[in-house]
Amino acid sequence: MSDGVLKKKLGLVDLTLLGVGSMIGSGWLYAALTTSGYAGSLSGYAWALGAVMVLLIGLVFAELGASIPRAGGFVRYPNFTHGNLVGFVIGFSALLAYTSTAGVEVEAVRQYAMYWWPALGQASTGNPTTLGFVMQILLLVFFFALNYWSVNVFGRINTIVTAIKFIVPIIAIVTFFTFYKGANMDIPATHPGGIHGVFSSLTGAGIVFAYLGFRQAVDFAGEAKNPQRNVPIAIILAMAISFVVYILLQFSFMGAIPTDLLNANGWHGMETIFRSPYADLARSLGLVWLINLILVDAVISPAGTGNIYLAGASRVIFAWAKNGYLFKVFGKVDPKSGVPRGALWLSLILAIAWTLPSEFQVWGGLIAAVTSANVLTYMPGPISAAAFRARRPDLKRPFLLPAFVIISPLAFIASTLLIYWSGWSVDELLLPLLIIAWVGYAIFGKKDSDQGDIKRAIWLLVYYIALLILSYFGTYGGKGYISSPLDSVLLTAVALITYYWGVSACYDKPLIPDEADEHQVEYIDVPAAKTA
């Protein structure tokens, strides 16, 4: 493969629809049901809180993406500000997060397709059969083919698919609101319900997962026309559009459930009644025409999102290779198509691996783990942004985030709380993996010439260990030795200490490689006073 360059083909509409197309995927098919199981009538507050927390993170990356537009930017920025060790660990987290999301989406397609073709899953659990696994893998191969030929074709296909994806949710919203019963909102949730249920639903019910598509504008910034203007606008527009759609879906779904069915089973019990939530709700209301419409969209929506995330995963792998952590073939771009084809092949292989048999078989089982892995990838963004603000005041910032000194640490606190609210069952799997990755690279990995990698990365190791300890002793699946809200207060304190420590630990002068020569990356430490 000869070395080409990423082609700048994506406009504001393309970037916005990449975000919206990522958000309106499997989330709309399942999140209303799972959220009501956690939070009941408080579900609206959960969607609003999730939107605010993700928007805080998105605004920080809007400044980064506008000032430093790079493919796979989430992986690049920590490397620019803190060096190889931090960059490697965040890249490892991103590799877990991005490659798993396409698998989640094809899992959603298969689960809804069981309504037509029961042989795709086991009747008792919903887990995929051998035929179901084959279907999921073939879908991923199809996404691969769509992405392989050109970024321009990819952008056009996504624009068309996203436009189609809006139609069915809007029809469902209008139709279900005609069956709205206000009495349903008086029935409390018990799993766990209350404010604890609101917090748990953000990760466990798929709310934050549904919003994570904001990142697409950052991931594809290297292929965007006028990214300095379009990246921040696309992030804000995609978040606003998706929030409105999701809040309307939530209340139309909850209000339309037959009250006698809800009284008999409760909000949490509805998850055993409605395996294909919107299709089953339409059936309970006798809306046969809507069942078929929803089932068609149940293939289009998550399939379109899976297509986007497979492309996004290839950009992350491409960025990781550019940082020097993978073979050079994964950091090359096909000159004719403008696609990083080597990275795309690897993203396909890893996405298929996520669909293979495991303890997380169905959509709901994967969501908390995938959400937490994604948030762990975004977590260093506010620190990198603050490091650039402090050490590179000369950097051109077309989008200057207002009230940065408040919003940036709040974004880091939001990330920390979301990881904690994912629960011990998730944190005990992900955090030790990242700790091992940190230690392994510190011992065996390539160091910067100034040998300061470990010093610039200690804050990250301490942060992971502190999170792991608090999760174990906390109330979200842990031992419960630290009660609520004390656990959240302690997490906030840990987050603030880590934030300012991480900012102070960065390079004295982070250098940003030129887009045309990204393999020649070097960083210079000079006294901070000389960088002004």
Say yes or no to pLDDT of 11 above 70: yes
Say yes or no to pLDDT of 261 above 60: yes
The residues spanned by each domain of the chain are 12-392+399-509
How far apart are alpha carbons 296 and 306 in whole angstroms?
A: 16
How far apart are alpha carbons 429 and 372 in whole angstroms?
A: 11
How far apart are alpha carbons 237 and 189 in whole angstroms?
A: 32
Band the pLDDT of 284: cuts 50, 70, 90.
very high
DSSP strand E in 175-224: where?
Answer: none
Across 8-12, 117-121, 419-423, least confident range: 8-12
CB 228 within 8 A of CB 66: yes
How far apart are alpha carbons 326 and 340 in whole angstroms?
A: 13
**pLDDT per position as a tens digit, 233-245:** 888 899 999 999 9
Phi-psi region for residue 254, left (φ > 0), alpha (ψ -120 to 50) or beta?
alpha
CA 139 to each of CA 130, 146, 152, 320: distance values in angstroms, whole numbers, following the listed order: 14, 11, 21, 25
How far apart are alpha carbons 254 and 40 in whole angstroms?
A: 9
Instruction: Identify the pLDDT of residue 520.
Output: 36
How far apart are alpha carbons 78 and 84 in whole angstroms?
A: 9
How far apart are alpha carbons 129 and 141 in whole angstroms?
A: 19
Say yes or no to pLDDT of 523 above 60: no
How far apart are alpha carbons 216 and 231 in whole angstroms?
A: 9
- The terminus-to-terminus CA distance of the chain in angstroms comes to 42
Would you call 235 helix, strand, or coil by DSSP? helix
Give the percent of the chain with pLDDT over 70: 88
Cis status of the peptide bond prior to 192, with omega within 30 of 0? yes
How far apart are alpha carbons 393 and 509 in whole angstroms?
A: 10
User: Can you tell me the mean pLDDT for 451-466?
Assistant: 93
Which helix (H) or strand (E) segment holds residue 195: the answer is: helix 194-204
Band the pLDDT of 482: cuts 50, 70, 90.
very high
**pLDDT per position as a tens digit, 373-400:** 889 988 999 999 999 999 999 888 888 8
How far apart are alpha carbons 164 and 39 in whole angstroms?
A: 30
CB 361 within 8 A of CB 127: yes
How far apart are alpha carbons 423 and 369 in whole angstroms?
A: 9
DSSP per-residue letters across 443-465: HHSPPPTTS-HHHHHHHHHHHHH
How far apart are alpha carbons 371 and 419 in whole angstroms?
A: 8
- CB-based contacts of 443: which residues, under 8 Å, 6+ apart? none
User: Can you tell me the mean pLDDT for 280-294?
Assistant: 92
Instruction: Identify the pLDDT of residue 357.
Output: 63
Q: Which candidate, 231, 201, 271, 194, places its Cα nearest to that of 71?
A: 231
Indicate the average pLDDT of the chain: 83
Give the CATH H-level superfamily of domain 12-392+399-509. Amino acid/polyamine transporter I (1.20.1740.10)
Residue 229 is encoded by which pair of tokens?
């203007």
Instruction: Identify the pLDDT of residue 2.
Output: 43
How far apart are alpha carbons 144 and 23 in whole angstroms?
A: 20
